[in-house]
Amino acid sequence: DAKTTQPPSMDCAEGRAANLPCNHSTISGNEYVYWYRQIHSQGPQYIIHGLKNNETNEMASLIITEDRKSSTLILPHATLRDTAVYYCIVSVIQGAQKLVFGQGTRLTINP
C-alpha cells in the first residue's frame, strides 16, 4: 500500500505558484520523498526527490518538514503544461527500488 496521502485534486491559476501537499507520517529514516507527475496518457516523469533538506531544481522545489512527516512540492510559476497528476512517493534509494504509487493529486492549471 502507498504510504502517502494527497488531496485528490487542486486548481491553480496560470503564472501562480502551485503548492502540492503530501502527508507521509509513517516514513522511515532511510526513505526518501519522491515526486513524479503524469500528463494525460503518458508515462510518469520524475520531478524531484529529497531526504530531509529542502531541494530545488529547474522544475520545482521540495519542502520537507523537520519531522519529515509531510512535504510540499512547489511549482513556482505554473503553466498550462503543468496540468497533470502529481504523485508523492516514499522509497528507499537502493538502485532499482520499485515505486508504489498512491492516488496522487490531479492539478489543473487554469488560464
Annotate each residue in 26-45 with x if it binds other proteins (CB under 8 A) or - if it does not, as one string.
Answer: ------x-x---x--xxxxx
- Nearer CB in complex with other proteins: 79/97: 97
Distances (CA, A) of 105 to 20, 30, 84, 93: 8, 25, 8, 23
- Nearer CB in complex with other proteins: 42/111: 42
Q: Decide if residue 54 touches other proteins (CB under 8 A).
A: no
Question: Among candidates 32, 106, 25, which has minimal Cα distance to 70?
Answer: 25
Q: Whole-angstrom Cα distance, residue 49 to residue 90?
A: 9
**Residues 6 or more apart in contact with residue 51 via CB below 8 angstroms:** 32, 33, 64
- Nearer CB in complex with other proteins: 98/111: 98
The least distance separating other proteins from the CB of residue 106, rounded to whole angstroms, comes to 9
Q: Decide if residue 87 touches other proteins (CB under 8 A).
A: yes
